[in-house]
Structure 1
Amino acid sequence: MYKKVLVDFPALDQASQFTAEKLKQIRSSLDSALQASPHKEKITVVAVGSYGRGEASESSDIDAYIMFDSDRAAADVIANELKEIEKILNSHVLKETGSTGTFGADVCIRFTDMLSNIGGKDDSNAQITRRLLFLLEGTWLYGEDRFRQYRLELLSRYIKPSGADGKIARFLLNDIIRYYRTIATDFEHKVSDQKQEWGLRQVKLRFSRKILYFGGIVAIAETAELPQQQTLEKISDWFDHQGLERLYKASPDLPQTAQVLRLYEYFLERVSKPDVRQTLEQLQKEDRDTCEPYCDLREKGVELSEVLAEWLKEKYPADHQIHHALIF
């Protein structure tokens, strides 16, 4: 049903179709390239970002990383496979991945590392980013079955079978909240200390990062009354759907759902225009109030926040666990 609804939102529909076709091509290429590898059953390639959200375009890079299920260093065991993966990603997606080191065809981690130190002193920004994006907007490029198995294993670190039935997945919710606040804090560091571009990054905070966060809230709220084992399985099912789709799936008839889609359509349509995107990429913070595209999208971002707040109140009664859990 959601795919049919997108027909009324051309920018969302075009991005969804573009992403689906690109993912199909990349998956096919990786499957062929790794078919003969003796280590293929230990390799999983994950995409997040615009390719995970289903809203990629020709101007998008691909935030990807590799998981290698071995105690031995990947560079020593699958050096040829890593080169092949990088070659394929670069051939399908021309824009280079950002330089933070969190993502890229040369980033290879062990899944067991993703399970470790959740909330601990060694839980770095890179680690929490890979972990939460894996859950909230991740999709597979290679190794679909392992990707789904890993997601269930990771969720089981948050949702214990021994936990009380009918209770909200508070550990997971707290980590999602923490990550969303980390994004905002990290943004200030990147633009103030590292002098990275400000305008487009700011607009994304007001739209795509907000839906990332809210989509996680929806998945947790929708499973609040279930037994623990069902909560684990159902949240994993909810994460099969992208953020906007979760809102639609949870409440397709709420008027606020259509409003959210319209506002996000407007954002996507605007930033897909080369002149607008270039203006935002070059915008300095001190010039923001005289930049028409930015001021326009800032207002729409405020409206999106208001509509999402209304959606939450309309969808879940006042005594629903999600309201208390978001504050305390």
Structure 2
Amino acid sequence: MSGSVRTSLEEAMRRSRTAIVAARRTLEDDGRLPDGHDIVAFGSLARFELTPQSDLDWLVVTSEARSFDAAPLIETLRSQLVDGVTLSEPGSSRLFGETISVDDLVTPIGLQEDTNHTTTRRILFLEESVSLARPALHAQALRGVLDAYVKAKDGSDRIPRYLLNDIIRYWRTIAVDYQAKATQKNPKALRYLKLLIPRKLCYVASIAPLYLLHSGVAACDDPVDYLLDQYSTPALERLLDLLARIARDGDDTVKEKCERIAIAASRFIESSGSADWRAAIEADFRGDARKESADFGAMRTLGKQLHADLCGIFHAEPFDSFSREYMVI
């Protein structure tokens, strides 16, 4: 990975770590959060891709029966996590900004009661969440999610298909939901580019631990312990670790693909931190020449190249055997 790309990604990770430390210090000093409650952040902060334009997506996750109004604490956090910026509130879908129990994350999995909201919260908790108050409670809840998937494994496969299938299901769901939302009046260009680059990369980072388990790279006595360690690691770090492993064992063509994937991640994080860029891509999206435009068109082209590079990696060894066995049919 080139020095400039590494520096850009490291800056995003540093900004995210600093924000998480600040949030934990603020909540500890405040003292109003009851025992058995955690404030869990999602999105770019949890992926370690925080920018000044990020939302603060959050849930209160509790092991207690009583609820808690976290709104005053969240207002404080939104204004303190990035210098000189107040992070945006969660969207209007009511996916975030509420209190849920630990049990809500694992009951149910599948069938009619497993709605878009329950599936989304569970998979996002797995692949991109971070504790802002009580890491031990977060780890306990994450272990509960992983236990629910791993205990359903019948022992015939090296990896829990139940978990992999749900990660794939969620990725397909957000792809379908993008099209359903395309007719709404909300900004469309950013949602499209997020699907093309950071959400796709988060999906890759989410199956990376299962690929490493399948390939034998990760030797472990207890799969839950291994997966807990992996999914406690931010998505961006999991992605970069996977790319480093693939590049180390690959030829020059593979190394170039890995470099371009890292560049795509870096450029999106840099660009999405600019309010001017966000406004420009929405303006481009309404124009006739949007596919060739300087802002939206350039990022779309980067996303298309990213897709080609990921396909090149997934359909070649050593990844190909994993793709054929677990991800095609």
Any idea what SS the aligned residue of 1:100 has?
coil
The 5 Å alignment of 1:178-327 reads 178-192=169-183, 194-224=184-214, 230-250=222-242, 251=245, 253=248, 254=250, 255=255, 256-284=257-285, 287=288, 288-289=290-291, 291-314=293-316, 316=318, 318=320, 320-327=321-328
What amino acid is the match of 2:300? R
* Partner of residue 129, structure 1: 120
Distance 1:152 1:322, change over 3 A: farther
* 1:217 Cα deviation after fit: 1.5
Change beyond 3 A, Cα 1:56–1:315: farther
Q: CA deviation at 1:144?
A: 0.3
Q: Is the 8 A contact 1:168 1:321 kept in 2?
A: no
Contact 1:166–1:228 (Cα < 8 Å) also in 2: no
Task: Provide structure 1 residue ranges, at least 5 long, that are not aligned to the other structure.
Answer: none
Deviation at 1:7, TM superposition (A): 6.1
Q: Which moved more, 1:57-66 or 1:235-244?
A: 235-244
Q: Deviations over 1:108-162 (max 9, x none)?
A: 0111011112112111212111111111111111110011111111101111186
Quote the offset at 1:212 in angstroms.
1.1
Q: Is the 8 A contact 1:161 1:229 kept in 2?
A: no
Code of the residue aligned with 1:112 in structure 2: it is D
Structure 2 distance, partners of 1:123, 1:285, is: 36
- Equivalent residue for 2:78? 90
Q: % of aligned pairs identical?
A: 26
277-286 or 140-149, larger mean C-alpha shift: 277-286
Residue 27 of structure 1, CA deviation: 1.0
Equivalent position amino acid for 2:204 in 1: F
Letter of the 1:308 counterpart: L
Distance 2:199 2:5 in 1: 23
2:108 counterpart residue number: 117
1:44 to 33, 38, 41: 38
Stretch of structure 1 that moved more, 160-169 or 115-124: 160-169
User: Partner amino acid for 1:31?
Assistant: E
- Match for 2:150 among 159, 162, 165? 159
What is the one-letter code of the residue matched to 2:240?
Answer: Y
SS state at 1:180 partner: helix
Contact 2:202 2:235 in 1 (8 A): yes
Q: Please give the root-mean-square deviation of Cα atoms over the aligned residues, in Å.
A: 2.5
Report how many residues are paired: 312
**Equivalent pair of 1:26/1:88 in contact (CA under 8 Å):** no
Change (3 A) 1:321 1:59: closer
Amino acid in structure 2 at the alignment position of 1:148: A
State the distance in 2 between where 1:69 and 1:176 align: 25
Q: Check whether the contact 1:166–1:227 (CA below 8 A) recurs between aligned residues.
A: no
TM-score (norm 1): 0.86
More moved, 13-22 vs 156-165: 156-165
Deviation at 1:171, TM superposition (A): 0.7
